[in-house]
Structure 1
Amino acid sequence: MNLSNPQQNILIVGASRGIGLGFVKTLIQQNNNINVYATYRHKDTAQDLFNLQIQHSSSLNLLQLDVTEEKQIQTLAQELKQQISDLHLVINCVGFLQQDNIKPEKSLRHINSENLLTYFQVNSIASVLLAKHLLPFFRHSHPSVFAAISAKVGSIGDNYLGGWYGYRASKTALNMFLKTISLEYKRTCPHTIVVALHPGTTDTNLSKPFQRNVPPEKLFPVERTVDQLLKIIHNLTESDTGQFFSWDGSRLPW
């Protein structure tokens, strides 16, 4: 996929911090021919994004969105439709690992049904709802990408340690959603490539509680992660749709 083409419209979902904010920073600095639409959930935790918008007001547009609310995703699509007709790159960066009383389960005794539903609502269902409401924006003849940040721990074939039931299973469900989306998109908007992306362990708030045992060379700064994932996106072809890519460009087992 070539991001150097004129009039590229890009949507980064979950851009207030971490990898999402990193994508926004890199994209608006790399290319003068793009419009970036970036979503945030709460304005009070998106100050860096708003500061960036002040510096790049002509190319960066901010939209409030809670991805767990389908009505808000529908409203987002309606707002975009008033400004643009096509999207060329969408990356869903929203992900949830732990918060408050919800923590990755170490064993079956820690399983809680409400917590499991939260994992699936954020990590799985959000992407398929985005694909549903954004599909009309991909009905064009230009190469495009719909991607979501997944995780290697969502690979069934690579699961040798167990634990983390909710997070693992919700990322596995995300991968299945993306695979299934890719098949429908291939029929309805055949120039759109749908992929799952594993970013590697990145130095963000999500990974911070689990960084102690990560070797320094395997803990990536956000900037490196973004560069690596953008390289993968740049090199995608239509035959790659429905695949699960690791940060180094290799394909991960389902």
Structure 2
Amino acid sequence: MDEPVSTPARLAVVVGGSGGVGGALARALVENPAYDQIVVLSRQRPAYCSAPESQGRLVWIAADILDEDSLAEAARRIGLLGAPALILIATGILHDERLTPEKTMRTLNAEALSRIFLVNAVGPALAAKHLLPLTPRDQPSVLAALSARVGSIGDNQLGGWYGYRASKAALNMLIHTLAIEHRRTRPLGICVALHPGTVDTALSAPFQGPGMAQRLFTPERSAAALLAVVDGLGPDANGGFYAWDGAPIPW
């Protein structure tokens, strides 16, 4: 009698699972029976990964998107668990103690621009470099990176926020280019950039002016919308840039 052929576990991977949207995505995926396990990558273990109800479904692996050694080790461990059918890259930076969006070109400086490009463009590209080879060759898969509408050159009517806009535009180009190469070996694979809407998280908190409350998404609402977009992607979506409602965004 022939030995039964084992099927690799079907995984969903969330890179940046300690953030507001990343955490909401991971928690939503735990409830999705389409995936055997949800793997969360972040520098620090999120509290929800230790919750009793998540044990067995959630796997946390320490990784830093700017540390290739940690990404390579994370990829090795993920490969032992199974094959990622879904990879969500939910990392990004808009401000911190050293960084704030530029209102005018007079405030541009090399250190701030370099940092925001590293986190918003280089890091996701390195994560994709190590994780895309783990996706199945003969089954559908999706890699989606969280971008931002302000990264659209065609939609830029206000100016300002130079570094954030430019770094997200660079991310969009990297994802589009990865999509072309990835399709050569994974004909059913899709790579896209997604705009999550304006979400009520620490990233947007300093910029939530009067009247924004009705336009703000909770992380949970944004995550649900993004996962619905991912579920609806067809082969022609490869390399595209889409909003939280599935509408294409101009480059």
Matching residue of 2:5: none
Which one of the candidate residues 72, 75, 84 is aligned to 1:87?
Answer: 84
What is the match of residue 3 of structure 1? Answer: none
The residue aligned with 1:78 is 76
Q: State the alpha-carbon separation in 2 of the partners of residues 39 and 112 from structure 1.
A: 31
User: 1:102-251 to 2 correspondence within 5 Å?
Assistant: 102-213=99-210, 215-251=212-248
For residue 79 of structure 1, report the CA deviation from its aligned partner.
Answer: 1.6
Quick check: 1:38–1:63 contact (8 Å CA) kept in 2? yes
Answer yes or no: is the 8 Å Cα contact 1:15–1:93 preserved in 2: yes
Cα offset, 1:115, TM superposition = 1.0
| Structure 1 Cα separation of the partners of residues 186 and 127 of structure 2 | 15
Sequence identity of aligned pairs in percent? Answer: 39
Matched residue SS, 2:88: strand
- Deviation, 1:11, is 0.4
CA offsets per residue over residues 60-97 of structure 1, 9 Å max, x none?
Answer: 0001111111221111111212222x110000000100
What is aligned with 2:10? Answer: 8
Work out the CA distance in 1 between the residues paired with 2:35 and 2:71.
26
- 1:213 is displaced (CA, Å) by 4.2
Please give the alpha-carbon distance, in whole angstroms, between the structure 2 residues aligned to 1:153 and 1:238: 26
Q: 1:66 — aligned with what?
A: 64
The whole-number CA distance in structure 1 between the counterparts of 2:34 and 2:187 is 27
Find out whether 1:27 has 2:29 as its counterpart: yes
Contact preservation (8 Å) 2:84, 2:134: yes
CA distance in 2, matches of 1:213, 1:15: 29
Of 190-199 and 71-80, more deviation after overlay is shown by: 71-80
How far apart are 1:31 and its partner, in Å? 2.3
Misfit runs of 4+, over 6 Å? none
Tell me how far 1:163 sits from its aligned partner. Answer: 0.8
**Is the 1:12–1:92 contact (alpha carbons within 8 Å) kept by the matching residues of 2?**
yes
Q: Residues 118, 212 of structure 1: CA spacing in aligned structure 2 closer, same or farther, 3 A cutoff?
A: same
Equivalent residues, number: 244
- 1:57 aligned partner, one-letter code: Q
Moved more, 74-83 or 95-104: 74-83
1:109: how far off? Answer: 1.3
Extract unaligned runs of 5+ from structure 2: 1-7
Per-residue deviation, 1:214: 5.0
* Deviation string, structure 1 residues 106-129 (Cα, Å, up to 9, x no partner): 111111101111111110011211
Q: What amino acid is the match of 1:98?
A: H
